[in-house]
């Protein structure tokens, strides 16, 4: 049976009400120390909506890949988090990144450090806010909590609490985040393919987003997939977004890959569980039909919003799929993006606990 056959996605207009339920246990709010203008939006709403104490765990992220111009913004976000939590009677703890020689292992090490903390003994409800956390970090972080929640209750590591993954979506801010360069392809920590032999067939499923064509092409060149099934957002808030993405990736998809149009997949832009169901059915269909030819590898990659990235994460977690990633070498922010908060929209994905009992 699917972990999320009947999932709970709390939209913006129901967020405040969902946090008025009767419970007095403190909440742990896990957030990144990044420069994203949306980094404090969910925390502000949560503190104003609930009577419960909210403690914060701020994950310090390395500064090496961020432009110098945006680092003051990250410091301001950190200070704002401190102020919000302190005013509500909570406590802020900072988790510093472990010393790493390879940045690709950073997410896995941060997750391991979090698993070894007292969080699971102290809190029955955890909110992982991913607006300012890169995919390479929040994928293994969420995976680690899900693994605890899905252990047998007799296992001493089992955690029966409520896990929320929250994100503030804003397409205008996404468009203002500047990403330059590419790093070498690497699987995201915890989402590698088992075994050392090359699969007989590789199916690649990239979830497409704006301004990522160079990184998507780098993945294609490295993977050399036998079949490519790109995902476009539809239905979308902007009905023409999918058409613009087809134009942006036209040369790669139709000239280099020579994609069959029937291989294009659509998934609802604002419902990661729709993508999760679609990708689950897709991988099952390919594995059943191609397994007589040998080992089939279904490889996922996410180049779209943080919200849809969670759909990729849940699919890979449940079905044991590989997630490959090419990160930008540097991040920056167009100054106008800092003021574009009129379209902020909160989503709360409730992944474990009360709704699934």
- Interval 163-209: pLDDT, tens: 999 999 987 777 777 777 788 899 999 999 877 788 999 999 999 99
Q: Is the pLDDT of residue 68 over 80?
A: no
Q: Is 189 helix (H, G, I), strand (E, B) or coil?
A: coil
Q: Which residues lie closer than 8 Å to 296 by C-beta, 6 or more apart?
A: 199, 200, 201, 202, 203, 286, 287, 290
What local confidence, expressed as pLDDT, does residue 338 receive?
53
Q: Is the pLDDT of residue 336 over 60?
A: no
What local confidence, expressed as pLDDT, does residue 64 receive?
64
The CA distance from 73 to 80, in Å, is 10
Mean pLDDT across the chain, nearest whole number?
91
Yes or no: say if 67 and 41 are a contact pair by the CB < 8 Å rule: no
Percent of the chain with pLDDT over 90: 76
- Helix (H) or strand (E) run with residue 140 in it: helix 135-149
What local confidence, expressed as pLDDT, does residue 170 receive?
86
Asked if 8-176+336-356 and 182-327 have one fold, the answer is: yes
| Record: fold of 8-176+336-356 | Rossmann fold (3.40.50)
- Calculate mean pLDDT across residues 266-289: 97
Q: Is the pLDDT of residue 328 over 90?
A: no
Q: What angle do CA 130, 334, 131 make, to 5 degrees?
A: 5
Q: Residue ranges of the domains in the chain? A: 8-176+336-356, 182-327
Q: Is 92 helix (H, G, I), strand (E, B) or coil?
A: strand
- Calculate mean pLDDT across residues 243-256: 96
Q: Which residues lie closer than 8 Å to 310 by C-beta, 6 or more apart?
A: 130, 142, 165, 167, 272, 349
CA distances in angstroms from 81 to 28, 55, 78, listed in the order given: 13, 10, 5
Q: How far is CA 216 from the centre of its chain?
A: 17
Can you state the percent helix, strand and coil of the chain, rounding each to 5? 40, 20, 35
Q: How many CA atoms lie within 13 A of 20 on its CB side?
A: 6
Q: How confident is the model at residue 343 (pLDDT cuts 50, 70, 90)?
A: confident
Q: 182-327: which CATH number, 3.40.50, 3.40.1010, 3.30.1490, 1.10.3470?
A: 3.40.50
Burial class (CB in 10 A: 0-12, 13-18, 19+), 211: middle
Q: Is the pLDDT of residue 341 over 70?
A: no
**Ranges 7-16, 32-41, 50-59, 140-149: which has the least confidence:** 32-41
Residue 116 tokens, joined: 């070894």
- Calculate mean pLDDT across residues 224-243: 95
What local confidence, expressed as pLDDT, does residue 65 receive?
64
Q: Is the pLDDT of residue 25 over 90?
A: yes
| Better-scored residue on pLDDT, 103 or 331 | 331
**Beta-carbon neighbour count of residue 339 at 10 Å?**
11
List of E strands, the chain = 8-10, 27-32, 54-59, 92-95, 125-129, 162-169, 177-180, 186-187, 201-207, 227-228, 231-233, 265-267, 296-302, 322-325, 330-333, 345-352
| Better-scored residue on pLDDT, 173 or 26 | 26
**Ranges 72-76, 131-135, 231-235, 301-305: which has the least confidence:** 72-76
Residue 175 tokens, joined: 């468009």
Q: How far is CA 93 from the centre of its chain?
A: 22
Name the DSSP letter for residue 346.
E
Residue 271 tokens, joined: 């419902």
Q: Which residues lie closer than 8 Å to 119 by C-beta, 6 or more apart?
A: 28, 57, 126
List, for residues 83-140, the tens digit of each pLDDT value.
999 998 999 999 887 776 666 788 999 999 999 999 999 999 999 999 999 999 999 9
Percent of the chain with pLDDT over 70: 96
The CA distance from 54 to 175, in Å, is 31
- pTM for the whole structure: 0.95
């Amino acid at each position: 049976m699917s972990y999320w056959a009947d999932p709970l996605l709390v939209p913006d207009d129901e967020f405040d009400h969902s946090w008025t339920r009767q419970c007095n246990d403190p909440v742990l709010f896990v957030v990144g120390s990044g420069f994203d203008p949306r980094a404090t939006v969910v925390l502000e709403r949560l503190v104003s909506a609930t009577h419960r104490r909210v403690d914060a765990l701020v994950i310090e992220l390395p500064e090496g890949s961020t432009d110098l111009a945006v680092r003051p913004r990250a410091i301001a976000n950190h200070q704002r988090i401190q102020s919000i939590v302190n005013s509500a009677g909570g406590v802020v703890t900072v988790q510093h990144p472990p010393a790493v020689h390879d940045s690709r292992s950073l997410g896995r090490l941060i997750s391991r450090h979090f698993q070894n903390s007292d969080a699971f003994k102290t809190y029955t409800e955890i909110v992982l806010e991913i607006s300012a956390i890169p995919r390479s970090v929040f994928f293994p972080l969420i995976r680690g909590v899900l693994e605890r929640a899905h252990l047998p209750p007799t296992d001493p590591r089992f955690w029966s609490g409520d896990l929320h993954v929250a994100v503030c979506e804003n397409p205008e801010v996404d468009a203002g985040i500047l990403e330059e360069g590419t790093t070498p392809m690497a699987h995201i920590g915890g989402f590698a393919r088992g075994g050392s032999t090359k699969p007989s067939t590789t199916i690649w499923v990239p979830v497409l987003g704006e301004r990522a064509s160079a990184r998507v092409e780098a993945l294609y060149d490295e993977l050399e997939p036998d079949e490519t099934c790109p995902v476009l957002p539809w239905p979308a808030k902007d009905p023409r977004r999918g058409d613009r993405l087809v134009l942006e990736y036209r040369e790669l998809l139709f000239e280099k890959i020579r994609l069959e149009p029937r291989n294009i997949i659509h998934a609802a832009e604002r419902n990661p569980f729709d993508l999760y169901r679609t990708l689950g059915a897709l991988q099952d269909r390919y594995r059943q039909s191609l397994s007589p030819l040998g080992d089939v590898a279904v490889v996922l990659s996410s180049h779209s919003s943080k919200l849809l990235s969670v759909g990729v994460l849940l699919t890979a977690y449940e079905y044991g799929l590989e997630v490959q990633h090419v990160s930008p070498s540097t991040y920056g922010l167009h100054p106008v993006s800092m003021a574009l908060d009129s379209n902020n929209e909160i989503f709360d994905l409730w992944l474990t606990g009360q709704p699934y009992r």
